[in-house]
Amino acid sequence: MPEVIRQLPDNVANQIAAGEVIQRPASAVKELMENAVDAGATRIDVRVVDAGRTLIHVLDNGAGMVEADAKRCFDRHATSKITSADDLFTIVSKGFRGEALASIASIAHVELKTRHASDECGVQLNMEGGERTGNVPVAMEVGTQIAVRHLFFNVPARRNFLKSDAVEMRHVIDEFQRVALAHEGIHFTLTHNDGELFNLRPATVRKRVIGVFGSKYDERLVPVEESTDVVGVKGFVGKPAFARRTRGEQFLFVNQRFVKHGLIHRTIMQAYEGLLPHGQYPLYVLFLTIDPARLDVNIHPTKTEIKFDEDQHIQSLLLPSIRRGLGKHAVAPSLDFDQETSLNIAPLPKDHVVAEPVVQVNTDYNPFKPQSAPSSSGGGLRPGRGQMDAWKTLYETAWRPDGENPSLAQEEVARPSSASGEVGAQLSAGDEVMAEQRPLFQLQNRYIVTATKSGLLLIDQHRAHQRILYEDLVRQLEGDVNPSATQQLLFPAVIDLNAADQLFVLQSKDWLAKFGLRIDSHDDGVEVQGMPMEADTSPESLIQAILEEREEEVAGVSREERVAAQLASTMAVRVGKSLKPQEMADLVDRLFGCSTPALDPFGRTVIVNFESNVLEQRFR
């Protein structure tokens, strides 16, 4: 039998490793910045072009490398951080696997310039697809400069899976922020296409957080600090009033390493229990300091997952410390044990006589004796003549203000499509909403009740309006109809956003204009100059709805369509709003003109159909 097992070439092995370590341009930015931090740099400059597709350039003033180390750093599993397996239990540096530079060099054109303080000049190395193509001396300051060009040039499948520049740049900014927040003593800059996004000078932790997210965040931060022999907790959590419906402002660091830990995240959310509505997430930037021997950071190639030896101890410290911090700053309910707890009851007058309670019993009551119908002024299940007249008057006043039937469209209402599901199937061809003498009324300021030939329909007004607005926005996006009309604001609204969110929103301004939302850049964020005509909400709510959808495509649905759904949800008539008769009739007519009237954009039921035979059974 021939031999079939063979050793993979180094370039193939490096490309396989690159698939685990370098998933997108942001991954390369992270690895290069962490190497610069480990080199002892006090200034790190990051420059990217086309969200990192064309160029990633990282410059630092760290220790640099001698020529032999510069050649060896591109070999797989070459590192200066550990020398034996025992060192894995005392790791404090960022990189230690020795895979980053080898992985990057195997899928890109890399130019490395570095100089150690012991050398008079530096050395320049060029790598292409894992192969060294150049080695020349170069004059430069002490430190290291790495330029990564044409990422994934030899892995076209991986390059084709990259998202738009807006999405990829968002990931680059996320990685930049994580490194910058953990090292407030280092000067960081980030430039994209010759435009400076961040210039963070050395500062305190609080000022670094404000520098990353913006000056408005100063009032949102609540300090948290606690320590034991096992772990120390320090950092900031956000006030509940400034929580957002999207994740992205949650930062957990362990020994200055950004990590993701589901159990600790749930513990932090538990501290906000009762303070936040469902689906909202607070800001937190928390730093845990723990003995490296008590944790394992070597369980994932990207080193973002971590395992603690004592999860319960960390939970028991973190939960009360956050609650204590929120309580001290009067943003969480707390008990005042110094307050007088005695009841303040005035004494009775001396001549006051307390009467004995008397139980009153109706001796004429007989549960087996039929009761007469209540009068018009009485209560009960059966209304009197006066109540019936009042209901009739109310009906005629609401639906026949002129004593005549309201005018309705004569054309046949569009039928629900097959995508409407089970509810749509219940509405047969003979069950179209009655166009003549159609009763309509609002139930609990939430549902619209209307009759059909075979029963009645219960329509959720908020979800119905979402479906209408969503299909209108999608048609405008596809160019089937003219762009939505814009209501110009008399005083443009300035929405405060950090640099990352500002860039993300502005890169979408062209297709957002088709929705009737007109925005422009501003020093503190974005300026909303016009809103869609049907928008009955604040400009800030619309911007937050846009930020909720960051991925370019999810389950085959484009980001533009998902943003349209979020905008429709934000702009739709709210639950609890009273609607006039004509508004209800217009809403019902427009709903049944949609392609999928029985479901809202998120797949939730809009219409519930009650057949006449079902109603009759309730009265048997």
The answer to whether residue 381 scores a pLDDT higher than 50 is no
Write 421-429 long-range contacts (CB < 8 A, 24+). Answer: 421/598, 421/599, 423/598, 423/605, 423/606, 423/607, 423/608, 423/609, 424/596, 424/597, 424/598, 426/609, 426/611, 427/452, 427/598, 427/607, 427/609, 428/454
Supply 71's token pair. Answer: 């050649």
Which residue's entry shows tokens 């390493």? 257
Tell me what the mean pLDDT of segment 468-491 comes to.
82
Domains and CATH numbers, the chain: 10-202 (3.30.565.10), 207-328 (3.30.230.10), 485-532+537-571 (3.30.1370.100)
The residue among 94 and 290 whose pLDDT is bigger is: 290
- The C-alpha atoms of residue 306 and residue 226 are separated, in whole angstroms, by 21
Residue 412 above 60 pLDDT? Answer: no
Write out the two tokens for 522.
């501003």
Reading the block at residue 265, the tokens are 């995240």
Start-to-end CA span in the chain (Å): 82
Give mean pLDDT, residues 118-131. Answer: 91
Judge contact between 56 and 147, C-beta under 8 A.
yes
pLDDT given at position 1: 58
Does 382 have pLDDT greater than 50?
A: no
Instruction: Please report which confidence band the pLDDT of residue 237 belongs to, taking 50, 70 and 90 as the band edges.
Output: very high
Q: How confident is the model at residue 432 (pLDDT cuts 50, 70, 90)?
A: very low
- Res 64: pLDDT: 92
pLDDT value, residue 119:
92
pLDDT of residue 122: 94
Question: 221-230, pLDDT tens digit by residue?
Answer: 999 999 888 8
**Distance of alpha carbon 296 from alpha carbon 513, whole angstroms:** 49
| pLDDT confidence of residue 329 | 74
Predicted local confidence at residue 89, as pLDDT: 62
The pLDDT > 70 percentage for the chain reads 78
pLDDT digits (tens, 9 = 90+) for 561-573: 888 898 899 889 9
In three-state form (DSSP H/G/I as H, E/B as E, the rest C), the secondary structure along 316-373 is HHHHHHHHHHHHHCCCCCCCCCCCCCCCCCCCCCCCCCCCCCCCCCCCCCCCCCCCCC
Contact criterion met (CB below 8 Å) for 472 and 533: no
Go through 56-68 and write b for each residue having 16 or more CB atoms within 10 A of its CB, e for each that does not.
Answer: bbbbbbbbbbbbe
109 in helix, strand or coil?
A: strand
The pLDDT assigned to 40 comes to 92
Give the residue carrying structure tokens 């997952």: 305
Contact indicator for 464, 569 with CB cutoff of 8 Å: no
Distance CA 325, CA 438 (A): 58
At residue 243, the pLDDT reads 87
**How confident is the model over 264-301, as pLDDT tens digits?**
899 999 999 888 888 889 999 999 998 888 877 766 66
Instruction: Express as a percent the part of the chain with pLDDT over 90.
Output: 28
User: Residue 142 pLDDT > 60, yes or no?
Assistant: yes
- The candidate with the shortest Cα–Cα distance to 128, out of 113, 148, 145, is 148
In this prediction the pTM is: 0.70
pLDDT tens-digit series, residues 167-206: 889 899 999 999 999 999 999 999 999 889 999 999 999 9
